[in-house]
Structure 1
């Protein structure tokens, strides 16, 4: 079976990219799989991808690459239109509504077309109009499934399939390093400023613990300024980007996330795959489906006094080694349900049922 996955860019540092590349790598062991990146701006993908996966792109935006036509939105749309009209695959999986709408309009009718969604569409009109031509919509969480069911209201069936962790063994934390870690894109929705402010309380009471932040993004300068303002330069460390976030999380004893509306929980899942408990805010759309207080981490209620409660949750875990290790065991059990092999098998069953 030939399976094509189309996404805006397979070369970026995003959780949805990581999830799709993990899925493609696992499916490629049994199927003919290609990942089509609409835009390519780097020589290699940020995240690893299996050797059996065929990689190709529509618009090569790497520095130094010359083109007959100038780059732009029109050129990209024409390239996508040509791809969809000429694509000959059994299954087409598209990421993001902008691409899925075009797939619904132009991909061959006999091709199985599935939209993989993580967030609500910014403009629901085209989605409601064209998504009924798709065979299915797949979300990563039950909450997103309910949201998309309301948006489509009688359109294609909506299914919830989890994101896939990388195949193979994951590094395991020894739970003896005095390190709290956080990772991902430094953008406003991730609210890393809340984590830094909460850790100021931790650093004051447990000065031998450190916070390591992995990633990069537009919020970096603001976060660095906040660290200086709070005099945390000996307690909070900016570690830069890494394509082995799991390996870095395995050096920590707690992973912290303070996102306000985390539609994708890859950071949470990767932490649990390393056997590290997670502290997150209750109500964040991804973590609250994966984190269960007392089993694999701690969910902190948001609202007034949330930073004090978050800091208290971190301190409680810091001071209770036995509890941390118990939560770590639950984290490993949770991660096992998101293994690439398990998730790929669910996708194969869905495809078989749809066909």
Structure 2
């Protein structure tokens, strides 16, 4: 079976890209799989793509590449429209609402067309108009499934299939390093400033523990300035970006998440698969969609005194090695639901069932 996964860019470091790359690798074991990137802005993808997966793009946006038409949104939309009209595949999985609308409008109707959704439904007009042409909508969490189900009531079926971990062997933490790790894009929604402020209390009381921050983004300068202001330069380390975040998490004994919304959740899933307990805020659409408080991690209430509460929760976990080991075991059990073989099987069953309906 020929399966095409349509993404805005396969070359970035977002959680949804990681999820698509992982799924493609799992499906490629039994199918002809292509990742179709609308834009290509660098020579190689940030996340390694399995050798059995082909990678192509619609518009090459690398510096120095000359084009027949001027750059711009219109050129990209026309190029995508042409590519979709001539797409040769049995299944098309689009991974953003804007791309799913284009797939509904322009992809051949004899192709199984599936929208893969992570976040909340955006402006509903185009979705209500064009999504009924799609065959299925698949979400990664229960909360998203309920929201999309309400929006598309009477339209295509909305199913739940979680994200997949990578196909390669997964490293396991020995839980013997005095390291708290955090990783992802440094953007306001990830609220790394809350984590840094909380860790100031930890560093004061447990100075032998360190916080490692992996990633990059527009919050870089602000976070570095905050570390300097709080005199944490010997306690908080900026580790840069890595395509092997799971391997880095396996060096830690706690993974900290401070985000206000953990839409993609790959950071949390990778931490649990590394056998590391996760501590995060109990916010709507936050890590609580993946972590069970007291079983695979710790959830801290948001609101007044949240920084102090988060610091206290970190210290309690640091001081209780037995509890950390118990939560680590729970994290490994929870991560089993995201193994690529299990997730791939769910996708194959969905595709087969959808194909029979057409």
Contact 1:141 1:286 in 2 (8 A): no
What is the CA-CA distance between 1:286 and the residue it aligns to?
Answer: 4.4
Q: 1:140-170 CA distances to partner (integer Å, 9 max, x unpaired)? A: 0000100111122222111111000001321
Contact 2:260 2:286 in 1 (8 A): no
Q: 1:302-337 CA distances to partner (integer Å, 9 max, x unpaired)? A: 111111111111101100011101111111111111
Quote the residue 1:255 is aligned against: 255
After TM superposition, the score normalised by the length of structure 1 is 0.99
Distance, in Å, in 2 between the alignment partners of 1:185 and 1:284 is 19
Q: 1:94-145 CA distances to partner (integer Å, 9 max, x unpaired)? A: 0111100010011111111000011124322101110000001111000010
- SS at the partner of 1:3? strand
What is the CA-CA distance between 1:341 and the residue it aligns to?
Answer: 0.9
Task: Name which of structure 1's ranges 337-346 and 146-155 shifts more when overlaid on structure 2.
Answer: 146-155
Quote the residue 1:276 is aligned against: 276
Quote the residue 1:109 is aligned against: 109
Task: Name which of structure 1's ranges 64-73 and 43-52 shifts more when overlaid on structure 2.
Answer: 64-73
After TM superposition, the score normalised by the length of structure 2 is 0.98
Quote the residue 1:153 is aligned against: 153
- SS at the partner of 2:9? coil
Quote the residue 1:343 is aligned against: 343
Quote the residue 2:132 is aligned against: 132
Unaligned runs of 5+ in 1: none
Task: Name which of structure 1's ranges 27-36 and 145-154 shifts more when overlaid on structure 2.
Answer: 145-154
Quote the residue 2:211 is aligned against: 211
Quote the residue 1:226 is aligned against: 226
- SS at the partner of 1:35? strand
- SS at the partner of 2:169? coil
- SS at the partner of 1:110? coil
Q: 1:56-80 CA distances to partner (integer Å, 9 max, x unpaired)? A: 0010011222222222101100011
What is the CA-CA distance between 1:284 and the residue it aligns to?
Answer: 4.2
Distance, in Å, in 2 between the alignment partners of 1:149 and 1:285 is 16
Distance, in Å, in 1 between the alignment partners of 2:261 and 2:153 is 23
Contact 2:3 2:91 in 1 (8 A): yes
Distance, in Å, in 2 between the alignment partners of 1:169 and 1:177 is 21
Count of aligned pairs between the two proteins = 355
Quote the residue 2:141 is aligned against: 141
Quote the residue 1:68 is aligned against: 68
Task: Name which of structure 1's ranges 59-68 and 173-182 shifts more when overlaid on structure 2.
Answer: 59-68
- SS at the partner of 1:158? strand
Q: 1:162-206 CA distances to partner (integer Å, 9 max, x unpaired)? A: 000001321111101000000000001100010001111111110
- SS at the partner of 1:59? strand
Task: Name which of structure 1's ranges 277-286 and 102-111 shifts more when overlaid on structure 2.
Answer: 277-286
Mapping 1:1-355, distance limit 5 Å: 1-355=1-355
Distance, in Å, in 1 between the alignment partners of 2:216 and 2:238 is 9
